[in-house]
C-alpha cells in the first residue's frame, strides 16, 4: 500500500530531501527521487520471497510464474528502492540485504553485516534503510548507497515491523517479544517512546491522514490502534471468523487502502484475510485463503490483493471488488513477502 | 472472601515496612534456588564411559528471560534481576527463602530443588505473598493433593504429557498399546499416567510388561525385548523408562514392526530445540547465545517462570504479588509461550496451560492439543486434569 502512492509521496520526499540537503551541507546525500525523474519501468512483475526454499518467485502481470531463482538464506522482508528500479531482500540466515535489479533480477549489490534482518522500511530520502534485527534486539540504519551502518537503536526482543511516517520524521518498530512499539524520532536520533501494546505486535499500517497507526497483535488476535497525536492506544479491532476460536486467529500483515476506507488483515492460523472498515473499525468480511496467510500486497489500482500463504506454499489472489478469490498459485517454500511493480 | 484476602495481603505489604519497599522500588528480584549437593545433576555415565544423559540446570532459561526483560524494564523504570542462591548441605531451605525475602525483597522463587525440599518448604508454599515456581518436576501429586496456593508449575505434568501422546495415538488410529514399564518408582508413575490417559482417550492397553535391566537368562521374560513384546497384537509400544539404559535398545528390537513412544522414539516435552514455528527459532537462538547449548524442556520451564511474571508486572503495572497472582491465573493473562497459543495458569492448580511438543531426536512431529480435541473453554485443558478432575484444593 505504502508503495503505491509514489507520485504524491515522491513529491514530499523530494522536498524532504531538499531540506535535508540544505541542513546537512557536509553530508553527501543524493536524492534520486525527484518527481519526473522516476526510472521505474512498470514491468508488471511480482516478486515473492520464499523463506524456506531461499528463493524468489517471479510472476508476470497475468500471474504466471515466469521464474524462481536462488537468493540468500531465509529471505523475508522485501522492499523497492525509491525509484522502483531495484528491490531489497533481507536474508536472516546470511545476515545480508541483497539488492536486485527489478527488470533483470540481476544482483546489484550486497549490504553485509546486517544482523538477522527481518523486515525494513526505506526513509523517504531513499537512502536510509531502517532494519529490524530479529536476533539482536535492535533496529539498525544502513545507507543503501554505501552499505554503511549509520545507527543502532536498542529495541525489545525480536523487533519486526518497521514503518516510516511519510515525512520520515518518525519511524515505528514493533518488538514482538516485548509487546512494545518503539517510536524513533529520526531527527533527534533517539527512541522517544515505548508503547505497550497487545501480545506479539507484528506489522504496521498508517491511515492516509497519518492520524492512526494500526499494529497487528498476533497472539491477541486483534489490531491495536495508536493515535499519532498522543502516541497512546485508542482502540482495537478483534477478529474472529466463523468457526474459529480466539487462539487460532493470529493477524500479521495489514494494509490500508489509499482512500483510507478499507483495511486488509492477514489472519495467520485462521487461514482468512479480514476486510475491515477503517472509519467504523468493523469487520466487513472474511475471505478464505491458503494456510497461514502473512504477507499482503495490493496492486497499484488496488483491484487485486495478493496474499502469501506460509504453510501451503502458495499465493492467493483476491478480487477486491467482489471480495472473491480469483486463483491461487504455487510458489516456493514458505512464501513471506510480496512486491508488485505495476506502474 | 477474595476481597478480604486481598485486603489482608495489601495490609501485610504495607506492614512490612518502608525500608523493604524502598529497596524493591526499582529492582524486581527473581531468586533461583538450587542445591550444591543435588544428586540429580551428578554426572551420569553409562558403561564404557558414554554420557547418555546430560542434565543442565534450567538457570540458563531463567537468564534468557531476565535478559528479555531489559527493555520492558526501560518502559517500567524497573530493573529485573536474577539472584542465584545455592543451598548448602545442612542449610534449611525455609531459612534461605525467608532471609532472601527480607534482604533483597524477593518474592518470586524458582525452585530447582529435589522433591524432598518441596516437602520441607510446604509451610511457605501456601503463602499468598510469595510466588514459587516448580521448574523441574512433572509429578502429578504436586499439582494434585500436594498442591499449594503459592506454588506455580511451568513444566507440564506427567498427566499432560501422557495425554498429549494419547491424543496423537487416537488421531493416528493406533489404539492398541503395549506398555513396557521399568523398575523405578518414576517408571511406574509414568506407566500409570499413560494408563489414565489411555482410558481418557479410549485407547486399549493390551498388556503391561515389566522389564528389568539385566542379562540374567533366568529373567529373560523380563529382560529380552523380543520376548517382552511377543504374544499380543498391538499398534504401538509405550515405554516408561526414566533411567534410559534399557530403553535405548527398545526401538527396532521390538518383536513386531511397531513404533515406540514415551521414553524413546516419539517423546512429549514442553520444548524442543528443533521447534521452528511461532517465533521458536528466535527463542532457541537467544538461549543458545547465553547457554552455548540447545534449549531443553526444563530450560523452557525456567524461562517461562521469569517471562510470565515479567509479563504480568508490565501488564498490571504492579509489583504487588497478590495483583500478579490474580492476573496470572485469569483469562485476561495472555502470555506468549512461543508455541502459537497464548499461555496462562490454571486457577485450580496453578499449572501453566501450554501446548506439548511431540518430537523425535531431531524433529517436532506434532503439537498437542491435536486438531479435533476440543474443550468447552480452552482446548489446552484437554491436556492434564480439568478443574472437575483436579485433586487440588487451595
Q: How far apart are CA A150 and CA A142, in angstroms?
A: 6
Predicted confidence band at A136 (pLDDT cuts at 50, 70, 90)?
confident
- pLDDT at site B45: 67
The answer to whether A247 touches B342, Cβ cutoff 8 Å, is: yes
Instruction: Lay out the sheet containing B79-87: strands in order across.
Output: B79-87, B27-35, B108-112, B131-134, B151-153
How distant is the Cα of B282 from the closest Cα of chain A, in angstroms?
A: 6
Angle between helices B297-316 and B280-291 (to 10 degrees): 110
Query: Contact B71/A250, CB-based, under 8 Å?
Result: no
ipTM of this complex: 0.71
**Cβ neighbour number for residue B213 with a 10 Å cutoff:** 14
How distant is the Cα of A195 from the closest Cα of chain B, in angstroms?
A: 8
The answer to whether A274 touches A265, Cβ cutoff 8 Å, is: yes
Provide the grid cell at B245.
539404559
- In chain B, % helix, strand, coil (3-state, to 5) comes to 40, 20, 40
The percentage of chain A sitting over the pLDDT mark of 70, rounded to a whole number, equals: 89
Provide the grid cell at B385.
486434569
Query: Contact B282/A178, CB-based, under 8 Å?
Result: no
Provide the grid cell at B10.
495489601
Torsion of CA B276, B282, B287, B288, to 10 degrees: 80
The answer to whether A142 touches A148, Cβ cutoff 8 Å, is: yes
Beta bridge partners of A57: A48, A68
Query: Please, what's the b/e burial string for B245-255 (b: 16 or more CB within 10 A of its CB; e: otherwise)?
Result: ebbeebbeebb
The percentage of chain A sitting over the pLDDT mark of 90, rounded to a whole number, equals: 82
Provide the grid cell at A274.
479480514
pLDDT in tens, A139-182: 999 999 999 999 999 999 899 999 999 999 999 999 998 999 99
Q: How far apart are CA B149 and CA B144, in angstroms?
A: 12
Query: Contact B336/A177, CB-based, under 8 Å?
Result: yes
* Residues on chain A touching B75 (C-beta within 8 angstroms): 180, 194, 196
Q: Is the pLDDT of residue A18 over 50?
A: no
* Residues on chain A touching B70 (C-beta within 8 angstroms): 137
Q: How far apart are CA A253 and CA B124, in angstroms?
A: 47
Q: Which of B107, B111, B105 is nearest to B85 (CA)?
A: B111
Query: Contact A177/B68, CB-based, under 8 Å?
Result: yes
The percentage of chain B sitting over the pLDDT mark of 90, rounded to a whole number, equals: 78
Query: pTM of the entire structure?
Result: 0.82
Provide the grid cell at A102.
527489478
User: Measured on CA atoms in the order B221, B223, B224, B230, is the torsion positive or negative?
Assistant: positive
* Residue bearing cell 545433576: B41
The enclosing H or E element of B11 equals: helix B2-15
Q: Which of B232, B250, B233 is nearest to B241 (CA)?
A: B250
The enclosing H or E element of B256 equals: none
Query: Contact B342/A176, CB-based, under 8 Å?
Result: no
Task: Report chain A's terminal Cα–Cα distance, integer Å.
Answer: 13
Query: Please, what's the b/e burial string for A195-213 (b: 16 or more CB within 10 A of its CB; e: otherwise)?
Result: bbbbbbbbbbbbbbeeebb
Q: Which of B15-19, B249-253, B364-368 has the lowest mean pLDDT?
A: B15-19
Q: Which of A241, A209, A211 is nearest to A225 (CA)?
A: A211
Residue B44 falls in which region: left (phi positive, over 0), alpha (psi -120 to 50) or beta? beta
Identify the DSSP state of B355.
Answer: -
How distant is the Cα of B164 from the closest Cα of chain A, in angstroms?
A: 18
Q: Is A184 on the interface with B (CB under 8 A)?
A: no
**Cβ neighbour number for residue B292 with a 10 Å cutoff:** 8
pLDDT in tens, B109-136: 999 999 999 999 999 999 989 999 999 9
Q: How far apart are CA B189 and CA B182, in angstroms?
A: 10
Angle at A221 between CA A220 and CA A226, to 5 degrees: 75
Query: Contact A175/B71, CB-based, under 8 Å?
Result: yes
Q: Where are the alpha helices (DSSP H) in B31-184?
A: 59-76, 93-103, 115-120, 122-125, 140-143, 158-172
The answer to whether A90 touches A77, Cβ cutoff 8 Å, is: yes
Q: Could you tell me which residues come within 8 angstroms of residue B350 by beta carbon, excluding any fewer than 6 positions away? A: B143, B147, B151, B152, B153, B329, B394
Largest CA distance in chain B: 72
Compute CA distances B296 → B188, B272, B315, whole Å: 24, 6, 28
* Residues on chain B touching A194 (C-beta within 8 angstroms): 71, 74-75
Q: Could you tell me which residues come within 8 angstroms of residue B268 by beta carbon, excluding any fewer than 6 positions away? A: B161, B162, B164, B165, B356, B357, B358, B359, B368
Q: Which of A26-40, B253-267, B301-315 has the lowest mean pLDDT?
A: A26-40
Please give the residue of chain A at the shortest CA–CA distance from B69.
A178
pLDDT in tens, A259-279: 999 999 999 999 999 999 999
pLDDT in tens, A56-91: 999 999 999 999 999 999 999 999 999 999 999 999
Provide the grid cell at B226.
523380543
- pLDDT at site B300: 98
* Residues on chain B touching A152 (C-beta within 8 angstroms): none
pLDDT in tens, A95-112: 999 999 999 999 999 999
Amino acid at each position: 500500500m505504502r508503495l503505491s502512492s509514489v507520485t504524491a509521496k515522491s513529491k514530499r520526499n523530494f522536498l524532504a530531501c531538499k531540506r535535508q540537503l540544505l541542513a546537512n551541507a557536509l553530508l553527501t546525500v543524493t536524492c534520486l527521487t525527484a518527481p519526473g525523474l522516476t526510472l521505474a519501468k512498470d514491468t508488471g512483475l511480482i516478486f515473492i520471497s520464499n523463506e524456506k526454499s531461499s528463493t524468489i518467485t517471479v510472476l508476470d502481470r497475468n500471474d504466471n510464474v515466469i521464474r524462481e531463482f536462488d537468493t540468500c538464506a531465509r529471505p523475508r522482508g522485501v522492499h523497492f528502492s525509491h525509484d522502483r528500479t531495484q528491490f531489497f531482500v533481507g536474508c536472516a540466515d546470511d545476515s545480508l540485504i541483497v539488492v536486485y535489479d527489478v527488470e533483470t533480477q540481476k544482483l546489484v549489490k550486497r549490504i553485509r553485516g546486517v544482523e538477522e534482518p527481518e523486515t525494513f522500511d526505506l526513509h523517504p530520502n531513499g537512502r536510509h534503510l531502517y532494519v529490524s534485527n530479529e536476533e539482536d534486539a535492535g533496529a539498525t540504519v544502513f545507507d543503501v548507497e554505501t552499505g554503511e551502518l549509520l545507527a543502532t537503536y536498542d529495541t525489545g526482543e525480536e523487533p519486526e515491523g518497521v514503518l516510516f511516517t511519510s515525512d520520515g520524521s518518525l519511524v515505528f518498530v514493533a518488538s514482538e517479544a516485548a509487546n512494545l512499539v518503539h517510536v524513533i524520532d529520526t531527527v533527534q536520533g533517539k527512541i522517544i517512546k515505548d508503547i505497550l501494546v497487545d501480545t506479539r505486535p507484528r506489522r504496521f499500517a498508517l491511515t492516509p491522514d497519518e492520524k492512526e497507526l494500526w499494529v497487528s497483535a498476533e497472539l491477541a488476535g486483534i489490531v491495536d490502534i495508536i493515535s499519532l497525536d498522543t502516541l497512546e492506544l485508542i482502540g482495537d479491532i478483534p477478529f474472529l471468523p466463523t468457526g474459529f476460536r480466539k487462539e487460532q486467529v493470529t493477524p500479521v500483515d495489514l494494509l490500508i487502502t489509499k482512500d483510507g476506507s478499507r483495511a486488509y488483515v492477514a489472519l495467520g492460523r485462521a487461514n482468512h484475510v479480514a476486510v475491515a472498515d477503517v472509519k467504523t473499525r468493523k469487520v466487513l468480511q472474511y475471505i478464505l485463503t491458503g494456510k497461514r496467510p502473512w504477507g499482503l500486497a495490493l496492486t497499484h489500482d488496488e483491484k487485486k490483493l495478493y496474499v502469501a500463504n506460509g504453510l501451503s506454499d502458495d499465493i492467493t489472489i483476491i478480487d477486491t471488488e467482489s471480495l472473491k478469490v480469483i486463483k491461487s498459485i504455487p510458489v516456493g517454500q514458505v512464501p513471506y513477502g510480496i512486491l508488485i511493480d505495476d506502474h | 472472601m477474595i476481597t478480604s484476602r486481598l485486603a489482608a495481603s495489601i495490609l501485610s505489604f504495607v506492614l512490612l515496612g518502608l525500608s523493604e519497599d524502598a529497596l524493591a522500588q526499582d529492582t524486581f528480584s527473581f531468586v533461583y534456588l538450587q542445591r550444591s549437593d543435588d544428586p540429580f545433576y551428578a554426572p551420569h555415565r553409562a558403561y564404557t564411559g558414554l554420557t547418555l544423559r546430560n542434565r543442565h540446570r534450567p538457570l540458563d532459561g531463567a537468564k534468557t528471560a531476565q535478559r528479555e526483560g531489559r527493555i520492558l524494564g526501560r518502559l517500567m523504570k524497573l530493573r529485573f534481576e536474577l539472584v542465584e542462591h545455592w543451598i548448602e548441605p545442612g542449610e534449611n531451605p525455609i531459612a534461605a527463602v525467608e532471609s532472601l525475602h527480607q534482604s533483597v525483597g524477593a518474592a518470586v522463587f524458582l525452585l530447582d530443588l529435589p522433591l524432598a525440599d518441596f516437602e520441607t518448604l510446604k509451610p511457605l508454599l501456601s503463602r499468598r505473598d510469595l510466588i514459587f515456581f516448580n521448574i523441574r518436576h512433572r509429578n502429578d501429586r504436586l499439582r494434585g493433593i500436594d498442591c499449594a496456593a503459592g506454588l506455580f508449575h511451568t513444566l507440564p505434568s506427567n498427566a499432560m504429557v501422557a495425554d498429549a501422546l494419547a491424543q496423537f495415538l487416537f488421531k493416528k488410529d493406533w489404539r492398541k498399546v503395549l506398555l513396557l514399564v521399568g523398575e523405578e518408582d518414576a517408571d511406574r508413575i509414568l506407566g500409570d499416567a499413560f494408563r489414565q490417559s489411555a482410558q481418557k482417550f479410549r485407547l486399549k492397553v493390551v498388556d503391561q510388561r515389566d522389564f528389568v535391566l539385566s542379562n540374567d537368562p533366568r529373567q529373560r521374560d523380563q529382560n529380552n525385548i523380543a520376548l517382552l513384546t511377543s504374544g499380543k497384537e498391538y499398534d504401538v509400544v509405550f515405554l516408561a523408562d526414566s533411567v534410559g539404559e534399557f530403553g535405548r535398545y527398545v526401538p527396532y528390537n521390538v518383536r513386531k514392526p511397531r513404533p515406540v513412544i514415551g521414553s524413546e522414539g516419539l517423546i512429549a516435552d514442553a520444548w524442543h530445540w528443533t521447534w521452528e514455528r511461532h517465533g521458536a527459532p528466535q527463542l532457541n537462538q537467544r538461549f543458545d547465545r547465553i547457554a552455548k547449548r540447545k534449549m531443553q524442556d526444563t530450560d523452557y520451564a525456567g524461562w517461562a517462570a521469569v517471562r510470565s511474571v515479567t509479563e504480568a508486572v508490565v501488564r498490571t503495572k504492579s509489583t504487588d504479588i497478590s495483583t500478579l497472582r490474580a492476573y496470572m491465573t485469569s483469562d485476561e493473562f495472555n502470555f506468549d509461550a512461543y508455541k502459537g497459543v497464548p499461555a496462562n495458569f490454571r486457577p485450580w492448580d496453578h499449572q501453566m496451560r501450554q501446548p506439548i511438543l511431540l518430537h523425535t531426536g531431531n524433529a517436532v512431529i506434532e503439537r498437542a492439543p491435536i486438531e479435533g480435541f476440543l474443550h468447552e473453554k480452552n482446548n489446552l485443558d484437554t491436556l492434564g486434569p480439568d478443574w472437575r478432575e483436579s485433586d487440588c484444593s487451595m
